[in-house]
Chains A and B, each alone.
Chain A
Amino acid sequence: MTPPLLEIDNLHTFFYTDNGVARSVDGVSLHVDAGETVGVVGESGCGKSVTALSILRLIRPPGRIEAGSAIRFEGKDLLTLDDKAIRQVRGNRIAMVFQEPMTALNPVFTVGDQIAEVARIHAGMSKRDAMAKAIEMLRLVGIPAPEQRAYEYPHQLSGGMRQRVVIAMALVMNPALVIADEPTTALDVTIQAQILELLADLTRRLGTSILLITHDLGVVAENCSRVVVMYAGEVVEEATTPDLFAHPHHPYTEGLLGAMPKVGGTAERLATIPGTVPPPTVWPAGCRFRERCAYAWDRCATEHPPLYQIAEGHVSRCHLAAEPERRAHPHQPIAAQPGVTAA
């Protein structure tokens, strides 16, 4: 069996702030195989973006990746590479697509210039060759009149086009892995589908793997073969997409699925998950989802759940795996009870 393209092993990324140590990523393990698209879902503040930034070691002080973490990619541990070596991975073997196409492009350079910069850094191309490459990339991502658009500034393009430019920048060097951090969140709904289709189409043709970070399960359903659900700095459930949608195990995953609007559904109010993610400086002991959970019992307050094996390729960080009969007796979560505000 070939090792996975990317393997994150027990990643801890902490931020040493004045208000205490924020354990934003607290023991995350996941992997991406070659040619695979893996979704990472979770609410804001669950650590999914920090995980993404950690892969390319883009965490700045006061943030730090703790000892004991490992991120293996193409046979190397990215966390032990020196500065020069990690720079050769960034943008070359692993590229990122950011959430905000408005701010992910430098306002003072033309878009062609910015795409060309990647080719100049990694392929050592001349200015002229790099610009030709940039125009080729703009054509590839479906921007009309690329010879002209290459000489325009980011603010002259629409949001959708800017995100196409960001994708073009990511794909210049034909990387093995693209990390897409909420690539469509900032876009209009009609553009979202176009961009995802583009990303899927290009990466399929180029054989690129994608780590797709999103809070939108609809996006996951359409694009990912496997899903990792994160909550409070941890992986709480992992399964293939069909398995996860058909048989969600963790109450948090259930809640996320219940909060999804369905076509043809009755006009009821959407379900919500009461409360919010606790701040990363004070993760609760025991199960971190306990206060928002409709099944929580005393065991959840004292014993931190491990990742239980539910089925082949399906794990869940919930004690219900050990005591399934408890699922029959849901109650009001602590966070939803009157007079209780989320910590």
Chain B
Amino acid sequence: MGAASIGHRSDSSVRGRLVSDGRVRLALGVLGCVALVAIFAPMLAPYDPRLQLDISHLQSQPPSFAHPLGTDTFSRDVLSRLMYGTRVSLTVALVAVFLSATFGTMLGAIAGYVGGAVDAIVMRVVDAAFSIPAILLLIVVIALWGNLSVVTLTLLLAGVGWFTISRLVRAETLAIRDADYVVAARALGASGWRVLTRHVLPNAIGSAVVSATLSVGNIILLEAGLSYLGIGVRPPTPSWGNIIEEGSTRLSDVWWLTLFPGLAILVTVFACNALGEALRDALDPRQLLPAHDDAPIRMNG
């Protein structure tokens, strides 16, 4: 009782603030559509994405009524490939980002809060990782272990994605660690774990969330880059990345091969960023206006 009945406004919850945010509705709408396409690709796609329709000519056709987004250099339907590619690209990116963000946040927060040797070791690992381009790291791993499944690829992408977030969260944690409310929480008898999970992480999570949504685009592009080198998602399995890379050599004449998957990436990344920003704002209660002016206070008793 009490809370809900006495003027507790629905929009002061994180969820309430998210629902009332226009950006969130738009972003969720876009991402929802993309997800639906991914889930129902077999029903929505007009052709088999691997079917070479005109085997005798093997040439790309520009968009037409039969092929709204044209056909590729193997005369496969681009719309169908794009739809199936959504499944691969979106799953790989989202799972990889989720894993790397979770891991990076935990590690960064622990390093920042505990400090000392733990911090030094974690941050030297991150420094070392930063000095090698992610793509190079991936190439080495893939060269060592050869043909990789999509699951392994996802894990690898997650494995090279956590550095930025852990460094970011560590920096936030360092600032928050000495904040008065953290000292106050310790003075009230909170354990280290409680201080970390209740006081440090919720205040540091905003930047991690924003960074994670931004990295969705990066992961999609990284996967595309690997696919271009022939070591990412392997044809004939379509991904947004390998469709673009397939068309990138013939950008001047077969433009529809790069444009449409490019737009798909753009719209998805944009929606993720909008969602991330809205989430950051919603997680910050300071966005709320004061509910009351200073009212005169009477002593009690």
Q: Which residues of A contact B (CB under 8 A)?
A: 53, 56, 58, 60-61, 87-92, 95-96, 98-100, 103-109, 117-118, 121-122, 135, 139-145, 147-148, 150-153, 155-156, 158, 160-161, 164, 166, 169-170, 194, 197-198, 201
Residue of B nearest to A159 (CB): B294
Asked if B297 and A194 sit within 8 Å, CB to CB, the answer is yes
In the complex, A160→B184 CA distance in Å? 18
Residue of A nearest to B176 (CB): A106
Of residues 275 to 301 in B, which have CB atoms within 8 Å of A's CB atoms? 283-286, 288, 290-292, 294-295, 297-301
A sample of 4 more A-B contacts (CB under 8 A), given A147-B6, A153-B12, is A98-B180, A100-B180, A108-B203, A148-B7
Asked if B8 and A151 sit within 8 Å, CB to CB, the answer is yes
> From residue B175, how far is it (CB to closest CB) to chain A in Å?
12
Q: Which residues of B contact A (CB under 8 A)?
A: 2-3, 6-8, 12, 115-116, 178-181, 183-191, 194, 198-199, 202-203, 283-286, 288, 290-292, 294-295, 297-301
In the complex, A54→B198 CA distance in Å? 24
In the complex, A92→B188 CA distance in Å? 7
CB < 8 Å neighbour of A89 from B3, B189, B190: B189
Asked if A96 and B187 sit within 8 Å, CB to CB, the answer is yes
Residue among A152, A160, A198 having the largest count of chain B Cβ atoms under 10 Å: A152
Query: What are 19 A-B contacts with C-beta separation under 8 Å?
Result: A58-B183, A61-B115, A98-B183, A103-B181, A104-B180, A106-B185, A108-B202, A108-B285, A109-B202, A118-B188, A118-B189, A145-B6, A148-B6, A148-B7, A152-B12, A156-B288, A156-B292, A194-B299, A201-B301
The majority secondary structure among interface residues of chain B is loop
Chain B residues whose C-beta falls within 8 Å of the C-beta of A198 in the assembled complex: 299
A107-B285, A156-B292 known; A197+B189 contact, CB < 8 A: no
In the complex, A103→B180 CA distance in Å? 6
In the complex, A100→B291 CA distance in Å? 21
Asked if A56 and B194 sit within 8 Å, CB to CB, the answer is no
A91-B187, A91-B189, A122-B189 known; A144+B295 contact, CB < 8 A: yes
CB < 8 Å neighbour of B299 from A58, A142, A166: A142
